């Protein structure tokens, strides 16, 4: 990150117009704030043009609304790059609604087991959307109780966005496997 900031400042001070293009929104786990502060400290004027965060756009690409009348009236976005504390897991499990996790493949076991430990039902649907908006986009549908095994069987890899909540059941027909997996999970055919 420091190298990126140094290059931005170096080129801007040399008189170039610098564009720092980021996928998603630069202020949602994108370190945009750090880059703006570094530029301002160097006396460089900055204009930020917000993007659409992958926390919202990637589930939409998979046909999953984050809120839906009668299903979920709130969503929470968390970073999964480091394990959440027990207190954070407890609060997250108690909120209800939809949970969106960015950078959460590496901490998936900790997250899913922690949410169940704090009261989330093991049958709660989970979608893992890999490589959102790319030609290789792929969605794996599971439940909190089975997601670690299902993710391993599917060889899930980063980058991926995790969506946890009842809205996963609303995935459009392009993700028809969602319904099949959830029906099988409800019948107890997994784990």
Return mean pLDDT, the chain.
89
pLDDT score for 174: 39
Cis before residue 159, ω within 30 degrees of 0?
yes
Instruction: Report the alpha-carbon distance of residue 22 to residue 25 in Å, rounded.
Output: 7
User: Which stretches of 66-160 are DSSP H helices?
Assistant: 86-95, 108-117, 147-153
pLDDT score for 190: 52
Q: Is 188 left (phi over 0), alpha (psi -120 to 50) or beta?
A: left
pLDDT score for 28: 87
Q: Is the model more confident about 21 or about 189? A: 21
pLDDT score for 30: 80
Q: Percent of the chain at pLDDT above 70?
A: 90
* Residue pair 93/119 in contact by the 8 Å Cβ criterion: yes
Q: Is the model more confident about 39 or about 183? A: 39
What average pLDDT does range 59-84 have in this prediction? Answer: 93
Instruction: Report the alpha-carbon distance of residue 182 to residue 56 in Å, rounded.
Output: 22
Q: Is the model more confident about 70 or about 109? A: 109
Q: Is the dihedral of CA 112, 115, 116, 121 positive or negative?
A: negative
Q: Percent of the chain at pLDDT above 90?
A: 69
Q: Is the model more confident about 181 or about 79? A: 79
What average pLDDT does range 104-109 have in this prediction? Answer: 97
Residue 172 has pLDDT above 90, yes or no: no
Q: Which residues contact 161 (CB under 8 A, 6 or more apart)?
A: 54, 55, 58, 59, 100, 101, 102, 128, 129, 132
pLDDT band at 188 (very low <50, low <70, confident <90, very high): low
Q: Which residues contact 66 (CB under 8 A, 6 or more apart)?
A: 56, 59, 72, 75, 98, 100, 163, 167
Q: What pLDDT, in 10s, does the model give residues 117-164?
A: 999 999 999 999 999 888 889 999 999 999 999 999 999 999 999 999
Instruction: Report the alpha-carbon distance of residue 18 to residue 21 in Å, rounded.
Output: 9
Token couple for 18 = 């610098």
């Amino acid at each position: 990150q420091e190298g990126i900031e140094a290059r931005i400042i170096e080129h801007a001070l040399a008189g170039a117009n610098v564009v720092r293009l980021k996928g998603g929104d630069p202020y949602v786990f994108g370190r945009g704030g750090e880059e703006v502060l570094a530029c301002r400290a160097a006396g460089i004027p900055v204009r930020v043009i917000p993007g659409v965060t992958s926390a919202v756009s990637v589930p939409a690409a998979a046909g999953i609304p984050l809120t839906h009348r009668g299903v979920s009236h709130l969503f929470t976005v968390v970073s999964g790059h480091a394990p959440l504390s027990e207190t954070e897991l407890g609060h997250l499990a108690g909120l209800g609604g939809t949970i969106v996790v960015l950078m959460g493949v590496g901490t998936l076991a900790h997250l899913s087991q922690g949410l169940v430990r704090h009261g989330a039902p093991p049958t709660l649907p989970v979608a893992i959307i890999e490589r959102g908006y790319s030609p290789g986009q792929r969605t794996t549908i599971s439940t909190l109780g089975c997601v670690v095994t299902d993710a391993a069987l599917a060889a899930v890899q980063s980058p991926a966005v995790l969506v946890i909540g009842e809205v996963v059941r609303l995935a459009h027909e392009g993700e028809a496997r969602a319904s099949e997996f959830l029906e099988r999970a409800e019948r107890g055919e997994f784990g």
